[in-house]
Amino acid sequence: MSGERKARVYADVREEASGLPSLLEQLGVLIVRKQLSEGDYVIPEDTVIERKSASDFISSLFDGRLFDQASRLTRDYEEVYYLIEGDLFKELKAWPSRRKQVIGALVTLVSDYGVKLLWSPSRKDSAELIAALAMRPSTSRGGPVVINKKPRLGSIREWQLYILQAFPGVGVKTAERLLQRFGSLEAFFNASVAELASVEGLGEAKAAKIKELIKAPYTRRDESKPTLEKFYKADEGSQG
């Protein structure tokens, strides 16, 4: 697979005991182990996966963790998946009086929080599902970010987000993180690669591309020059 860019997934270090990170590596996924503030797996840019056993999913609903966690995940990430391992409805036989509440919670996660549900009968299947998500083309992740409609004249915040989202790989939430980190567009444009890379959702490779784009001189459209597609694929062979 020399020269082919591997899919990258950040795995929470607490997932190591499950054996799932190793299974993902066997499937050709590049695993970066670190302690994540939210979620169990993060796929750049802005996709998070929370893995729960069927029994833990039910328990988290009744101890108050489920919706609190869903609220934080959907606040911080563009695309949120709950990966439920095991047979939830078989597990519900032990909770007959709470069946309607659990089903209602599933509906609420999807309809009110925009969470996507994945079902897995085994750890091996979970690895295949996560690998498939990680290997999708980046253009297919999440919904399309609409930036062609200009904000209202007086809305400074909307203009700031609008401008940052024009950079490839920067969605609404990454744009907000950038503004929280740097405070202004001027500070963002003057930031170093290392400073940009420190923002969650970017990383060194993406930060370097953004900085290169900021510094790239303008050329007339009819002059010979690399396309943006070639520009952003230029280093694909250097990773993985």
Sorted by where each begins, the domain ranges of the chain are 8-140, 156-238
8-140 has which fold? Rossmann fold (3.40.50)
147-191 pLDDT tens trace:
445 556 567 888 888 888 888 768 777 888 899 999 999 999 999
Percent of the chain with pLDDT over 90: 39
Question: Which ranges of 31-94 would DSSP assign to H, the alpha helix?
Answer: 54-62, 65-76, 88-91
67-88 pLDDT tens trace:
989 988 887 787 899 999 999 9
Spatial CA neighbour of 80 closest among 36, 50, 60: 50
Q: What is the C-alpha separation between 36 and 22, in angstroms, rounded? A: 17
Please give the radius of gyration of the chain, using alpha carbons only, rounded to the nearest integer: 20
* List of long-range contacts for 97-100, beta carbons under 8 Å, 24+ apart: 98/58, 98/62
| pTM greater than 0.85 | no
Asked if 98 and 88 touch (Cβ cutoff 8 Å), the reply is no
CATH class for the region spanning 156-238: mainly alpha
